[in-house]
Amino acid sequence: MAMIKTNEVAQSATGLRKQTRVTLADSTTSQLREAIISGDLADGSPLRQDALAEELGVSRIPVREALARLEAEGLVASSPHKGYVVTALSREEILELFELRSLLEPELLRAAIPNMTPADLTQAENILTGYNSDIDSAEVRSWGEHNIRFHLALYAPSGRRRTLEIVRGLLVNTDRYTRLVLTLGTGVEQAKEDHGGLLELSRKGSVNQAVALIRDHIQRARADLLHLLDRESNKSS
Quick: pLDDT tens for 16-63. 444 455 689 999 998 998 888 777 888 889 999 999 999 999 999 999
Which residues share a beta bridge with 79?
A: 83
Q: How far apart are CA 34 and CA 51, in angstroms?
A: 17
How many domains are there within the chain? 2
Please provide the average confidence, as pLDDT, over all residues in the chain: 85
Residue 40: what residue type?
D
Output 37 or 175, whichever has higher pLDDT.
175
pTM score, whole prediction: 0.72
Structural domain ending residue among the three candidates 69, 86, 103: 86
pLDDT band for position 73 (cuts 50, 70, 90): confident
Same domain, 61 and 177: no
What CATH number corresponds to the domain at position 64?
A: 1.10.10.10
Look at residue 10 and tell me whether its pLDDT is greater than 50.
no
Does residue 177 lie within any of the structural domains?
A: yes
Structural domain ending residue among the three candidates 25, 56, 86: 86
Same domain, 81 and 42: yes
Same domain, 80 and 139: no
Instruction: Express each pLDDT in 145-162 by its tens digit.
Output: 899 999 999 999 999 999
Same domain, 66 and 167: no
Same domain, 201 and 232: yes
Which residues, in sequence order, are CB contacts of 130 under 8 Å at separation 6+? 142, 146
**What are residue 77's phi and psi, to 5 degrees?**
-135, 150
**What are residue 45's phi and psi, to 5 degrees?**
-65, 135
Does residue 153 lie within any of the structural domains?
A: yes
Same domain, 135 and 204: yes
Among 94-98, 151-155, 173-177, which is the least confidently predicted range? 173-177
Mean pLDDT over 122-147 rounds to 86
What CATH number corresponds to the domain at position 167?
A: 1.20.120.530
pLDDT over 90 percentage in the chain: 51
> Using an 8 Å Cβ cutoff, are 137 and 182 in contact?
no
Strand-strand pairing, 83-86 and 46-47: antiparallel
Same domain, 75 and 95: no
**What are residue 47's phi and psi, to 5 degrees?**
-120, 95
Which residues share a beta bridge with 47?
A: 84
Same domain, 19 and 135: no
Same domain, 82 and 99: no
Structural domain ending residue among the three candidates 70, 86, 102: 86
- The residue range of the domain holding 40 is 6-86
Does residue 127 lie within any of the structural domains?
A: yes
Does residue 174 lie within any of the structural domains?
A: yes
Same domain, 75 and 118: no
SS3 5: coil
Mean pLDDT over 208-237 rounds to 83
Q: Which of 45-49, 197-201, 232-236 has the highest mean pLDDT?
A: 197-201
> Using an 8 Å Cβ cutoff, are 89 and 173 in contact?
yes
Does residue 1 lie within any of the structural domains?
A: no
CA triplet 158, 163, 164: central angle to 5 degrees? 65
For residue 144, count CB atoms less than 10 angstroms from its CB and return exposed for 0-12, middle for 13-18, buried for 19 or more.
buried
Does residue 67 lie within any of the structural domains?
A: yes
pLDDT at residue 218 in the model? 94
Same domain, 115 and 147: yes
CB < 8 Å & 24+ apart, contacts of 117-125: 117/157, 120/153, 120/156, 120/157, 121/199, 121/202, 121/203, 123/153, 124/150, 124/153, 124/154, 124/199, 124/202, 125/199
Does residue 109 lie within any of the structural domains?
A: yes
Q: How far apart are CA 74 and CA 159, in angstroms?
A: 24
Same domain, 197 and 147: yes
Does residue 131 lie within any of the structural domains?
A: yes
Look at residue 227 and tell me whether its pLDDT is greater than 50.
yes
